[in-house]
Every structure is written in structure tokens, then in C-alpha cells.
Chains A and B, each alone.
Chain A
Amino acid sequence: MTLLEARNLARHYTTIAGVVPALDGVSLEIHEGEVVALVGQSGSGKSTLLNLLGGLDRPTSGELLFRGRNLATLNGPELARYRRCDVGMVFQSFNLIPHRPAMDNVVLPMLFESTPKAERKRRAAELLESVGLTKRASHRPAELSGGEQQRVAIARSLANQPSMLLADEPTGNLDSRTAEEILQLLLSLNRDHGKTLVLITHDEHVAGVANRRIRLKDGKVVSE
């Protein structure tokens, strides 16, 4: 079943040098429960596509359908709700809030969802446990290793039980052993919990674990 479908998706940036087509007519489908790797060199349009898939940006033209609903036509709060509940994002640089302990970082998406306080705490503790960080709940990001920080970020991405995870170079800042652990954790979420996993990477090994690879070049899909 198709979870996400892009139809002739384009995103152009206007700069002083003129219009730059970062993404130029991309069409693709992501099915529920699969692991997809989006690969390409830097400047290929990966990040632009990620921002569109994650609901952080809007396309210049084309359609982006999530469960049949066009994200391009959603208003601000609706798009925020999509980011909060339908998709979980994991970043290369973790993007945790530095002055807050791991627990609070996991709670954050639930704050915006107005989840009751007790429920937030309970669920955040559960998520931290599932990524093996129960003992680190009160530590701030700076007190955690890179792998631990990424585990916190993964726990956070699951806070509002999204059906899809978008991971942008999730192992890019980690040593190979930790990278493998994080990759296995993400795959286990796909395997055990049915989360659709979209990996944006230029690491062939990471791309290798995917069911399907979509290669981008100069803002276009060159191979699937």
C-alpha cells in the first residue's frame, strides 16, 4: 500500500544568480512497511527532498500525497501536525535541545501534541527504555556519547507514534561500530513495529540494507 507518493515534485530556489531547480520533477512512491534508501551526491537534491517529505518545506510545483492527502495544500497547523504525528525525523547531527535532559527531549513532540503530563512522562520513559537509555534519562546531550544522543533522537522521533521515520545520514557522525548499532536499531523498528523507514545516505553500506534504492542526481530521479 502506498504511504507516500510524489508526483512531478519540484522545488526551485530563487537566488540573486537566478532560479535554481534543487528538485526538478521527481516522481516516486514509498510503500507502507518498506525500507527505502535515497542516495545521491551532495547537491543532488537529497536534502531538499527530505525537507519536503518531512513537511518542513513546501514544493514549488507538483504533488506530495501522504495517505492520499496532498501535503502542499495543508495549512500551517495541519502541516505541523503531519510533522508531529505522521513522520519522525532523525538527523545526522542529532539536533537535540542542548540544555535539556534526554527525557525532556523525548517529551518535546508530545508537548506540542498536548499529551497529558503523566502520559508524556510514562511514554518517554518507555521509549528511552526501548533504546536502552533508562539510566541516561536525566543526562544532557553534552553528557552523552554520539551513539547515545542518536538513540535519544530516535526515541524522540517515535514519541507520537508516527508510521514513517525519515533518517538523514543517521550514522554520518558515528564510528563504524556505533553506526552499525544505530542502523540495526532503525531496522528493528521497521521489522518489529512496522515503521516505514526512509534513509537518506551516501553510504553504500547503509543503502545496502534497504529494500529499494532511489538514486537522485541534479534534482532528478536517475534510477530505482
Chain B
Amino acid sequence: MKMPDVIELGFDNLRQARLRTLLTTMGVSIGVCALVGMVSLGAGLQDNLNARLLHSGFFQTMMVFPRFDNNNNPADRVANQGQGPRILDDTALTAIRQIPGVARVEPDVRLFLQIAINGKDAQAMAVAVPKEDGEEAAFAEMPFGKFFDSEDADEVILNTQMAKDLGFANPNDLVGKTVHATIGVTRQQGRNAASARGGRLPSFMGGGGGEKGAKREAAPPAASPAIPGIPQQLPEIAVDLKVMGLTARERAMLGNVGAQIYLPFAMAQAHQEKFFQDFPMLQLFRPPGYQGATVHLHSARDVESVEKTINTLGFRTISIASAISQLKRVFVIVDMLLAFVGSIGMAVAFLGITNTMVMAVLERTREIGVMKAVGAEDQDIRWLFLSESAVIGAMGGVIGLIFAWILGRVVNFGANIYIVRQGLQKENLFLIPLWLIAAAMGFSIFVSICAGLYPADRAARIDPTRALRHD
């Protein structure tokens, strides 16, 4: 018997028991829907995360630090191969820029700023940003205002949260205004300096995302530079800055915690120098060179090789590439768990199909006898029943995918109402990629055929002489 004829006959037979076929098919659809829903949720979440990370440029970024050569730390010991420790100065940065694959290198210059306007104030860590970073997503997609005019302008980019904290209900009103900024101290004085201070600067080290604080008094530099006698009140200098824009999202950079504000690079660097000149006592705790630098690559593929080269130059590196591969493994496990939960539906559908087909075999015993009497082989009968369960599986797969798609839309819609209310961007939580459609169809048909194996075998083995006596 030819396959197209088998399938045609299978369809015809299913049409004879419409209700039963429909009910069984619905059972399969629900199973497929649950499975696809679960897996597409996993795929959607993963895609979301990947898209965000890729968009943010996280993968193409790494941090470079001077080495401390603390051989008690196993991680350091590994990194401390190659050259001895080097100062991360402009010469070193130039050397890093020459490494193939490196797009740009940006030394870490940070100032702790207190921003005041209209009698209100807020604090944040200000990061110095070179001009070319204006293309980064965080700035290119700024909801309010624009990027700095030049690297040495007295300008600042704040964030929307800070606008609220400063009493601007409409954040756009803040753009173009001039704020009074008081410079505290660089956040990263290096590990040595920080530990020397004995953890006296928790808010400085913690990144201080726009938290309000008491206004600091400008204190004159202490006369004695004795290490134990660190001044309780840290010095500060003031400058007026024009608000150029407001960011909505954090910039993707390692080591950035919480909301930040941004200053033009040359201006920030100049102020940092001035700050240290005004308070020479602090120079004692300032290690030479930069405290760190961010290296941007052209492609995430080069992360490993560039890291290696920088390590041999005598610096420590941190990249997120390895952290991401760990995360991917977690997602595989999550996907498998979700798929397992979804498979319970398919297990129930399996039993449903078996039940339906066993009933069909019993009901059509006489018919099977007739078919054998007029020349059907056992294999023909087996294929006939298998084709019926495969058709149920295929129909269930299609309907289940449609259900899953609708379910995904509905859940997305509902979740996005919540997400938007939280002030976040809309997300696509469910994603049904092409491979999932193919896999769901294949799996549904496979499960259905497996469910039909026993009934089909039973049908094939029916003794025609008994079947013809059967009512």
C-alpha cells in the first residue's frame, strides 16, 4: 500500500469519529501549547538578556587595572605572569591602543559630585566620558537633551532619576539649566588608599546612586599628612555646570554600579588634577597613573586574545565574556526545566492518543478483518493506524502552536502593562523562534506516533477469522 493512500485513508477514518478526533487533538494541542509556551518563555528571556547585553556593548568591553602582585590571591597569581607590575599611565594606554582588535581605551576618571539647584541637592558618581563615547547606546538613546559640545566644556549629563530627586517633575525642564556642582573626591583612590582609610568612606565606595545627603562643608587641608590622622571632613571645590542631557539607562561598563552622571573627559580630568593640587595631602594616597581603564574592542571575539596581551604587558583585566558563558549554561538548565514542565502535558496527551486509538481498534475490529480478507497485509493495517495518530499529532501541533502564540501575546500584553507602569521599556517575554516551531511539530508527531505504536500493533495482529465474526 502506498504512503499517500495510507494517509488519505487515515484522514478519512478520523473524519468518521469527528468528536473523538477533535477531543484527542485538543489534548495534544494543550500539551504542545504548554511545552512551546514554556520553552518560548525561556527563549524570550534569554533573547532579551542577550539583546540587552549585546546592545550595551558589554561583550566588547573589558576593564584594565594596575596589578597589586598580591600572591595570596590565586586569581592575581595567574594574572601576574609575564612582566612585573606597571603603572597605568598614558604610555601604557598608548601601548594598549596598539593591540589588534582594540577600538578605544578610556582611562577611568571619576569624581564624586554633589549637584545642587533650587535649594535641592543630590549626589552621584560622575564618570569622565571622551567625545567618541557619544555614540554609545546610553547617550545615543538619551530621552532628553544631547551629548557634550566639547571635551573641556563645563557641562554635565545627569539622569532622569536625579532630575526627580532635584524636584523636576518634568525632567526636560532641567535640560539647559545650570547646576552648582561640588566636587568631593575621586571614587577610586585605588585599593591601597581605600584600605588605608579603613572603610571611612562607605558612600563613596558604594557608588552613591543619587542618594541625598547632608551638604558637606568645604574643609581646609589638614596641616599634618600623618596617615592615621585622616581628616574626617573631606575637602571639596565647586564649579557651575550646564545640564546637557539626561540618560534613562545605565551605561554598560564594568565596575559601574547604580545610576551615574557624566562629565566631558578633559574637563573632568582638569578638575581632578586641580582637586589634588588644592589638597596635596591626598596625593599621598594617590597611586601613580590611572586607577583603571576601560578597553572597548571591535568584536567580542577578540576578548580572550586582547586580555592575554594586556596581561603580559603587566596589567590585570576583568571581562564579562567568561561570566556570560556561565550565564548561558544557567539558561540551558532553565530551558530544560521549563521543557520538562511543558512535557507533562505531552505525557497526558500521549495517554489520550493511546486511549483513542485502542478504542478505534476495538470499534473497527470487523473492518480490520474485512481489510485483511480482501488482501491487506499486517503492515498495511499498522501503517493505517500509525498514520491516524500521526495526523492527530500534526493537527495537535499546529493548533497547539497557534494557542501558544496567542497565549504568548496575551501574557506579553499583560506583563508589558506592568513593565510600562514600572517605567521600563516594553519587552518581548515570549519568543517562538523557527527552530521551536519545527521542533514542536516534530515532537508532537513523534510523540503521537509513539502513542499509536501499541494500538497499531494490536490492530495488525488481529486474527481476521475472529474479526469477521465480531459484531
Contact = CB atoms under 8 A, between A and B. Distances in A.
Interface string A141-179: 000000000000000110110000000000000000000
Contact of A111 (B5, B370, B372, B464): B5
A56 B371 contact: no
B120 interface: no
A22 to B, nearest CB: 11
A54 B369 CA distance: 13
B375 A84 contact: yes
Nearest to A81: B375
Interface stretch (A61-69, A89-97, A122-130, A211-219): A89-97
A18 interface: no
Interface stretch (B134-142, B296-304, B377-385, B422-430): B377-385
Contact of A99 (B16, B373, B380): B16
Contacts of A56: 372-373, 464-465, 468
Q: Which of A57, A83, A112 has the most CB of B within 10 A?
A: A112
Interface string A103-133: 0000011011110010000000000000000
Contacts of B367: 97-98
Contacts of A84: 374-376
A111 B377 contact: no
A51 interface: yes
Contact of A108 (B371, B377, B465, B468): B371
A72 interface: no
Contacts of B9: 111
Given A51-B465, A56-B465, A97-B370, A80 B377 contact: yes
Contacts of B468: 56, 91, 95
Contacts of B372: 56, 80, 83
A157 B370 CA distance: 11
Interface residues of A, number: 30
A85 interface: yes
A77 B465 contact: no
Give the interface SS of chain B, mostly helix, strand, loop or mixed. helix
Contact of B373 (A89, A100, A117, A160): A89
Given A111-B1, A114-B1, A83 B375 contact: yes
A130 B371 CA distance: 23
B11 to A, nearest CB: 13
Contacts of B1: 111-112, 114
Contacts of A95: 366, 369-370, 373, 468
Nearest to B376: A112
A89 B369 CA distance: 12
A57 B372 CA distance: 11
B342 to A, nearest CB: 37
B2 interface: yes
A109 B378 contact: no
Interface in B1-56: 1-2, 5, 9, 12, 16
B374 A57 contact: no
A53 to B, nearest CB: 12
Contacts of B464: 56
B377 A112 contact: yes
A128 to B, nearest CB: 16
Nearest to A162: B375
B380 to A, nearest CB: 6
Nearest to A113: B375
A156 B379 contact: no
Given A83-B375, A95-B468, A112 B370 contact: no
A109 B374 contact: yes
Q: Which of A54, A56, A76, A160 has the most CB of B within 10 A?
A: A56
Contacts of A98: 367
B373 A112 contact: no
Nearest to A77: B377
A160 B464 CA distance: 20
B375 A80 contact: yes
Contacts of B378: 76, 80
A128 B374 CA distance: 17
Contacts of B369: 95
A51 to B, nearest CB: 5
Question: What are the nearest 5 A-B pairs in CB distance?
Answer: A84-B375, A80-B377, A109-B374, A112-B375, A83-B375
21 contacts: A54-B373, A56-B372, A56-B373, A56-B468, A77-B379, A80-B372, A80-B377, A80-B378, A81-B377, A83-B373, A84-B374, A84-B375, A84-B376, A91-B468, A95-B366, A97-B370, A98-B367, A99-B16, A109-B375, A112-B376, A159-B374
Interface of B: 1-2, 5, 9, 12, 16, 366-367, 369-380, 464-465, 468
Given A80-B377, A108-B371, A111-B5, 15 more contacts: A51-B465, A54-B373, A80-B378, A83-B373, A83-B375, A89-B374, A91-B468, A98-B367, A99-B16, A108-B374, A112-B374, A112-B375, A112-B376, A113-B375, A159-B374
